[in-house]
Amino acid sequence: MDNRELRSENVRKVIGQKLPPMVRNGITLAALLVAVLLALAFLLPLPDTSGGAHPENAGKTFYERLQCSFSDNLSVRK
């Protein structure tokens, strides 16, 4: 079967169209907003909400807590 004939002319026309600038800018803005929020959540210090169960994590960023959990797991396996 010929691949060129799989899609109708209307579908090829829609696929070939460029998105309006407002839609493109909106998608870019939404992606940037999500990226900034993820970066902030990853880098800002988090309050200790464990009720004092892990006092060594108080005031650490998520990244620092993640490094601790990986290093703890690696030391257990040795």
Give residue 78's pLDDT: 44
State pLDDT tens for residues 19-64.
Answer: 899 999 999 999 999 999 999 888 887 666 666 667 777 777 777 8
Q: Does residue 76 or residue 55 have the better pLDDT?
A: 55
Domain boundaries, the chain: 3-77
Contact 45, 61 (CB under 8 A): yes
CB 39: neighbour CB atoms within 10 A? 10
Q: Dihedral through CA 35, CA 37, CA 39, CA 40, nearest 10?
A: 160
Q: What pTM, to 2 d.p., does this model score? A: 0.53
